[in-house]
Amino acid sequence: MAKSQSVNLTLDTLIEHIARGHAFDKHVLGKDHKPGMQGVNAFNATETKEYFDEKLGRSVPPQSLGKQLFIETPDDLIHYIKENFLLSENTSGYISVFDQSVSLYNSEDNVALHLSLQNKEFDLGTIYRYPFTQDRFAALKGNAQNDADALGKPLPVIDNGQDPKAVMKAISELVSDVNANPQNYLFNKNNPESTVQNRVLSNASRPGRDWVNDEVLHAPNNVKGHSQAYAKANKLDVAPSDYVCIKQASADEFNVGRARKSLRSGRVLNAIKEFGLDSAPEPEPELA
C-alpha cells in the first residue's frame, strides 16, 4: 500500500490540469483520431467535418456538435469550465459508487466532463463534445446505475437544475477527500511505488502534463490569456492589447521551450526538476 502523503489539490488546480491537459490538444487543437473531428476545435465548431468512410464506402455528412462556445485558449477553457459549465442549471451528472469519480454533462452545450484522478495522461480528467455525447453520457449513467444496483447502493445523482450548487458541492467534496485520503485516489493500487501524485501535483509550473516533453511538444497548452472571440462573447474585462492569438502565442511558447531545452545541461535539468522552470538558476561559483 502506498504511503499517504499530504497534497494540496484545489478546484483551480483540478480545472487547470484538465484544461491544459490532453483535452486541450485533442478537442481544442483538433488532434483527434476520429475522422470527422480531425483538425476540428470541438468547442468552437458547430458541426463535424464531412469525411469519406472507406468501410461504409460513402461520405459521412457533417453532424451537429452544439452551439459555438468560442473557446480557443487554455484560459478560455478554464473560464468556461469554472464560470459556465459547473454553474449552469443545465449541468447534471453522477458520482461512481466504485471510485467516487464525478461525471457531468451540460445539455445546453452538449459538453461532457469526467474527473478521472488516475488517468494515464496524469491530467485528472477530460472534457469533450461529439455528436453523440448526450447518448454516450446517458449510456454511461445507465451503466453506473446498474453498478450501484449490483452493489445494493443508491447512485449519487447531481443536478444543478434541482440545486444550483449541487455540482460545485460534489466537486468540492471530492477535492476535500482527495486531500484527506490521497492514497485512495492518486496512487496506482497495483503499484505500491506509484508516484502519480508527484508527477502531477508537484508540477505547479506546468499543470496537466508530464513535464519532460512539455515545453516543446505542448507549447499551445502553456499559452496564457484569453482569445478575443471568447473574451467578447463572455464580456470579460480584458484589454484589447491582452487578447491572445493562439497561433502566435503557441509559436512564441515553442521557441522559448526549444531555447530552454537546448540550453539545458544535466545539472540545469535537475535544478528545473527540483525548483521548477520559473526559479532563478543557482549562480556558478566564481573561479579563484
Partner 1 sequence: MTLASPTAILEPQITLHSVESDDVILHASPEWKKKLIDFLKYAETTDDAEIDCIANITRLEEAREVISKQVRSSDILKLSKLELLSIIPAFIALSDYPAGGFYDYPADDFDRLHDDIFDIGDTVFEKNKAHWSRRIKTELSSKFDG
CA distance 112 to 253: 29
Nearer to partner 1, 91 or 227 (CB): 91
Strand partners, 115: 125
The DSSP-derived string for 188-248 is -TT-TT--HHHHHHT-TTSTTS-STTHHHHTGGGG--S--HHHHHHTT----GGG---HHH
Q: Using the rule CB under 8 A, which residue among 120, 237, 241, 278 binds partner 1?
A: 120
Contact window for partner 1 (CB under 8 A) among 65-73, 128-136, 158-166, 192-200: 128-136
Contact window for partner 1 (CB under 8 A) among 94-102, 179-187, 264-272, 278-286: 94-102
- Least separation in angstroms between CB 277 and partner 1: 24
149 is a contact residue toward partner 1 (CB under 8 A): yes
Phi, psi angle pair for 128, to nearest 5°: -160, 170
CA distance 215 to 179: 28
Q: Using the rule CB under 8 A, which residue among 130, 185, 187, 230 binds partner 1?
A: 130
209 is a contact residue toward partner 1 (CB under 8 A): no
- Least separation in angstroms between CB 55 and partner 1: 3
CA distance 189 to 272: 29
Contact window for partner 1 (CB under 8 A) among 110-118, 162-170, 179-187, 195-203: 110-118
- Least separation in angstroms between CB 119 and partner 1: 5
- All residues at 6 or more sequence positions from 217 whose CB lies less than 8 Å from its CB, including other chains: none
Nearer to partner 1, 100 or 227 (CB): 100
CA distance 227 to 243: 5
Nearer to partner 1, 117 or 277 (CB): 117
* 3-state secondary structure (DSSP) of residue 156: coil
Question: Footprint of partner 1 on residues 35-74 (CB under 8 A)?
Answer: 35-36, 53-58, 60
142 is a contact residue toward partner 1 (CB under 8 A): yes
Q: What cell does 70 get?
A: 468560442
